[in-house]
Chain A
Amino acid sequence: MAGQVLFDAVWKRFHRGLAHDSLRDLIPALARRLRPGAATAPPELRDGDFWAVRDVSFEVNPGQALGIIGGNGAGKSTTLKLLTKVLMPTRGMAQITGRAGALIEVSAGFHPDLTGRENVFLQGAIMGMPMQLIRERFDEIVDFSGVSAFIDTPVKRYSSGMNARLGFSIAAHLEPEVLIVDEVLSVGDAEFQTRAFGRLRNLVRSNIPVVIVSHQLDRIVELCTDCILLQSGQAMFHGPPQTAVQEYLRGTSARGLSLEEATSAGIGILELTAPEPQPVTSGSSFTCRVIGEVTAAEPPPHVELGIAIVDAATNQQMYWTWFRSIGAHPTRQGKFTADFEIQANMPAGLYRIDTSVWHEQRQVIIGQGPNRIFQVMPGRPFFGTHQLNAAATIS
Chain B
Amino acid sequence: MIRTILGDLWTSRELFLQLVRRDLKLRYRQAIMGFAWALFLPVLTISAGLILRMAFERNGGSGTAPSLGGIAIKSWAWAFFAGAMNFATVSLLSNASLVTKIYFPREVLPLSAIVAQGVDSAFGLAVLLLVGYWLGFHWSLQLFWLPLLIIALLLLTTGLAFLFACANLFFRDVKYILQVLLTFGIFFTPVLFEPAMFSTQVGHLLMLNPLTPIFEGLRLTLVERTSLLHALYTPSGILVWSPWELVYAFASGIACVLVGMVAFRRSAAHFAEYY
Contact = CB atoms under 8 A, between A and B. Distances in A.
Interface of A: 14-15, 19-20, 81, 84-88, 102, 104-105, 108-109, 111, 113-114, 118, 121-122, 125-128, 130-131
B180 interface: no
B22 A126 contact: no
Contacts of B29: 113
A128 B22 CA distance: 16
Given A81-B101, A88-B269, 16 more contacts: A15-B273, A85-B103, A86-B103, A86-B272, A109-B97, A111-B26, A113-B29, A113-B30, A114-B22, A114-B26, A118-B22, A125-B15, A126-B15, A126-B104, A128-B104, A131-B14
Contacts of A128: 12, 15, 104
Nearest to B29: A113
B101 A86 contact: yes
A356 to B, nearest CB: 42
Contact of B18 (A20, A105, A121): A121
Given A113-B30, A118-B22, A105 B101 contact: yes
Contacts of B104: 126, 128
A105 B99 CA distance: 12
A84 B98 CA distance: 13
User: 4 shortest A-B CB distances, which residue pairs?
Assistant: A125-B18, A85-B103, A88-B269, A125-B15
Main secondary structure of the interface of B (DSSP, over half): helix
Identify which of B97, B100, B102 gathers the most chain A CB atoms within 10 Å of its CB.
B102
A114 B19 CA distance: 12
16 contacts: A15-B273, A19-B274, A84-B102, A86-B100, A86-B103, A105-B101, A109-B97, A109-B98, A111-B22, A121-B18, A122-B19, A126-B98, A127-B102, A128-B12, A128-B104, A130-B14
B26 A109 contact: no
A172 to B, nearest CB: 16
A272 B70 CA distance: 90
A11 to B, nearest CB: 14
A104 B18 contact: no
B18 A81 contact: no
B270 A88 contact: yes
B138 to A, nearest CB: 43
B14 A104 contact: no
B56 interface: no
B25 interface: yes
Contact of A87 (B15, B22, B25, B272): B272
Chain B's interface size range is 20 to 34
Contacts of B19: 122, 125
B170 interface: yes
A108 B95 CA distance: 10
Nearest to A124: B18
Main secondary structure of the interface of A (DSSP, over half): loop
A19 B273 contact: yes
A126 B14 contact: no
Contacts of B30: 113
Interface of B: 12, 14-15, 17-19, 22, 25-26, 29-30, 97-104, 170, 269-270, 272-274
A126 B102 contact: yes
B265 to A, nearest CB: 12
A60 B17 CA distance: 34
B102 A109 contact: yes
Nearest to A111: B22
A125 B13 CA distance: 9
Contacts of B103: 84-86
Contacts of B102: 84, 86, 102, 104-105, 108-109, 126-127
A333 to B, nearest CB: 62
A104 B101 contact: yes
A18 B22 CA distance: 32
Nearest to B97: A108
A20 B170 contact: yes
A116 to B, nearest CB: 14
B116 to A, nearest CB: 13
A252 B69 CA distance: 76
Given A19-B274, A113-B30, A122 B22 contact: yes
A125 B14 contact: yes
A130 B15 CA distance: 9
A15 B17 CA distance: 36
A395 to B, nearest CB: 60
B168 to A, nearest CB: 14
A111 B270 CA distance: 24
B257 to A, nearest CB: 23
Nearest to A154: B29
A86 B104 CA distance: 8
Contacts of A114: 22, 25-26
A352 to B, nearest CB: 33
A108 B269 contact: no
Contacts of A20: 170
Nearest to B16: A125
Nearest to A102: B102
Contacts of A111: 22, 26
A237 B188 CA distance: 64
Nearest to A127: B102
Contacts of B12: 128
A219 B53 CA distance: 74
Nearest to A100: B103
B4 to A, nearest CB: 13
A161 to B, nearest CB: 19
A84 B99 CA distance: 12
A121 B274 CA distance: 28
Contacts of A88: 269-270
A109 B96 CA distance: 10
Contact of B272 (A81, A109, A127, A131): A81
A108 B96 CA distance: 9
Nearest to B268: A88
Nearest to B95: A109
Contacts of B170: 19-20
Contacts of A122: 18-19, 22
